[in-house]
Amino acid sequence: MNTRRLWFVLALVMAVSFTVLGLMGREIHRQAPPIPTRVVDASGQVLITKAEIETGQLAWQSMGGQQVGSIWGHGGYVAPDWSADQVHREATALLDIWAKRDFKAPYDALPAERQAALRERLKGEVRTNTYDTKSGAITVSADRALAMRQVRTHYETLLGSDPALEKLREQYAIANGAVKDPSRRTAIAAFYWWTGWAASTDRPGSDITYTANWPHEELIGNRPTTATIVWSVASVILLIAAVGALAFWHAKTKTEDHLVAPAKDPLAALKPTPSMKATGKYFLTVIGLFLLQVGLGAVTAHYSVEGHAFFGVPISDIIPYAVTRTWHTQLAVFWIATAWLATGLYVAPMISGHEPKGQKLGVDLLWVALVVVVLGSMAGEWLGVQQVFDLNTNWWFGHQGWEYVDLGRFWQILLFVGLMKWLVLVGRALWPALKAPSESKPVIMILFLSTVAIGLFYGAGFMWGKHTHISLVEYWRWWVVHLWVEGFFEVFATAVISLLMVKLGLVRAKSANGAVLFGTIVFLFGGVLGTAHHWYFAGTPVSVIAIGSVFSALEVVPLALIGAEAFETFSHTKAAPWVATYRWPILFFVAVSFWNLLGAGVFGFMINPPVSLYFIQGLNTTATHGHAALFGVYGMLGIGLLLFCFRGLARREAWDDRLLAMTFWLLNGGLAMMIFLSLLPVGVIQAIASIEHGLWFARSPAVIHSPLVQTLVWMRVPGDIVFAGGALTLAVFAAKLVLGIRRPAMKEATTPVAAE
């Protein structure tokens, strides 16, 4: 495989993809739903101001934002999608106002023909765009103004402590008195109204709303658009064609003769450098954060049964759902990223054989900075949700309200500085290997470039401010979540694994070069522009649906051959007797392939086509994909890398394969039970409800707290217990390694196990 040609193709893919991504950002900015200067009724009375909407967004973020329900489908799953809830509540309130005034009866009591007539009137009232581009004002009728006031009162009451809505707050897992300041509650209601207005009002000169007719709401005629259906069909056709082409390419590509493994472990005679030894504390921190995340996951899941308590113990006032879910999702990113960052610090000196001056001190200081960011951001988020901060202080030190980027801007800056430090540490250790001639030079270069990308692309999180339009926030937020976490970290991990296999003598350097370069091209070709599938209904133009549907389908294509990759990875465990010592780290990489196919491939494509996502965005189908992909792929990968590094840091007599076997099967079995016994069935039930009645209904207590769904939520407990058992056995395994290293009676091993 010609590596020079592959480098050219990779550069071309990156240049074209990011150019298109930039143009999409410009169009999203240009066509985002306008925020009015004011909303007035027919008499000119001001109902809502721009300042209220912007303050409401900040206040909503301070209470947990996307961790408490969702906006335009993005966020948590227990509380409603506030946009869909606003649209439905306002529509039913307006229908009732008309029905009672004109026919002296509630809307639900009217004959079908009168209901149909009122619905047609409602569509004309709600979907007509009265935004004045010159004055920036939106004008509504007196009747609609009355309906708006009714809905606003509901939200003001809900976010307070009124006993009348305590049952509903418990069903939504919203703490009593979640927003203590009445003016903030009023502002949040104004923000909810604006997000509902964008979801129910046609764009100028169009019969499609700003959110492409999302959410599904029959009362106002919100149904999938033609573009949503057409591009969904196109994505399926393209997926089939691309999978066929890849299978043809794989069949005609010549495979090299099987490589004979070395007689002995090539890494057995090498010793860890001081900086490599210093990464041990990172991996122990990873396990600690993982255990904490698992515990918080159990509490968070239980909140969908008891919204104010944990098995009868009232805890919502102390650690509400908004906090537990924030910490649960944020810690997942923290511990997985820490495992990968520590791996980079470990393998860089091993690959180059060079320990830069002061490297250990840099590694130690970076660990301290990491701990400060993790603990500081968690404390800030708790204080923010508890409404301790004013809105400005909250934005800097508290809870930003954006899922996976919840930490306050101050902690975000510190994390970015830490990533820059990590980039310098890994780069200076790798530099001799980059300059020296080597068969593995292309893979080392990919490793270095992905390190640079990981450091820099987190900076996308600084592209929004306190009052940035939510459509633009979503645009940049998914740069962090999709491109940073799911994109360049995966390229980095692929390069690291390939280099480890080459170092072990299990893969030829030439084969690794071609495989890593080709895999990076295929992954990024679909992955960069595939980011757009997160933006279908976030107030974006139709072009986003077209591009996102096509390229997100291409993201799935490489997974079609994942079985061959998994078999090849597994075959390494039988290459030579000594490879058995790496059996469980390698099997974790096999698990990555399995969950990549199921979690990222099957469950990912389940929600990727626009028409599918139209009905199931923000349901437990998304959580199914999220758990299977985030932990199944990235979590398993992090544990596999951790174990590879532990192999070089710990004494072999302290290594316990029995504990690793238990860890492997408990984690994989628990994750499968969690998904198939609970998350996926609940998601299917919600999907049916969304298709039949609308998203508002699928997210309502009538569905989420129905006997069947509550039973399925309880069915998650066995999987959680099994999964937690795997986390505990991993912790016991690590503890044995630490005790094995520190045991005074233990003599120095005659054969060190890591590289310099």
How many Å separate Cα 308 from the centre of its chain? Answer: 26
pLDDT band at 523 (very low <50, low <70, confident <90, very high): confident
Whether the predicted pLDDT of 435 surpasses 50: yes
CB 443 within 8 A of CB 512: yes
Q: What are phi and psi for residue 44, nearest 5 degrees? A: 95, 0
pLDDT band at 256 (very low <50, low <70, confident <90, very high): low
- Matching residue, tokens 């010592």: 581
Using CA of residue 749, residue 640, residue 723, residue 314, what is the dihedral sign?
A: positive
User: Which pLDDT score is estimated for 1?
Assistant: 54
User: Which pLDDT score is estimated for 284?
Assistant: 96
Picking from 84, 81, 82, 91, the residue whose alpha carbon sits closest to that of residue 126 is 91
How many Å separate Cα 537 from the centre of its chain? Answer: 17
How many Å separate Cα 506 from the centre of its chain? Answer: 34
What would the two tokens of residue 239 be?
Answer: 């997926």
Picking from 487, 432, 434, 421, the residue whose alpha carbon sits closest to that of residue 457 is 487
CB 394 within 8 A of CB 382: no
What is the b/e burial string over 47-68, where b = at least 16 CB atoms within 10 angstroms of the residue's CB? Answer: bbbbebbbbbbbbbbbbbbbbb
Whether the predicted pLDDT of 512 surpasses 90: no
Residue 540 CB contacts under 8 Å (≥ 6 apart), including other chains: 27, 28, 31, 32, 212, 471, 475
CA–CA dist 133, 565 (Å, integer)? 56
User: Which pLDDT score is estimated for 242?
Assistant: 87
Q: What pTM value is reported for the model? A: 0.93
CA–CA dist 89, 49 (Å, integer)? 21
User: Which pLDDT score is estimated for 519?
Assistant: 81
Preceding peptide of 610 cis, ω within 30°: no
CA–CA dist 466, 462 (Å, integer)? 11
Radius of gyration from C-alpha coordinates of the chain: 27
Whether the predicted pLDDT of 541 surpasses 80: yes
pLDDT tens readout for residues 304-357: 999 999 999 999 999 999 999 999 999 999 999 999 899 999 999 999 989 999
Residue type, 235: S
* Eight-state DSSP code of residue 131: B
User: Which pLDDT score is estimated for 257?
Assistant: 57
What would the two tokens of residue 18 be?
Answer: 């990011």
* Better-predicted residue by pLDDT, 278 or 490: 278
Which residues, listed in sequence order, are joined to residue 40 by a DSSP beta bridge?
46, 139
Which residues, listed in sequence order, are joined to residue 242 by a DSSP beta bridge?
none
Whether the predicted pLDDT of 755 surpasses 60: no
- Rounded to the nearest integer, the mean pLDDT of the chain is 91
User: Which pLDDT score is estimated for 569?
Assistant: 74
pLDDT tens readout for residues 553-610: 888 887 777 666 677 777 777 778 888 888 899 899 889 989 988 988 899 999 999 9
User: Which pLDDT score is estimated for 258?
Assistant: 63
How many Å separate Cα 571 from the centre of its chain? Answer: 32
Q: What percent of the chain has pLDDT over 90?
A: 74
In whole angstroms, how far apart are CA 731 and each of 333, 634, 639?
Answer: 19, 19, 12
How many CB atoms neighbour CB 711 within 10 A? Answer: 12
User: Which pLDDT score is estimated for 744?
Assistant: 45
Whether the predicted pLDDT of 185 surpasses 80: yes
How many CB atoms neighbour CB 210 within 10 A? Answer: 28
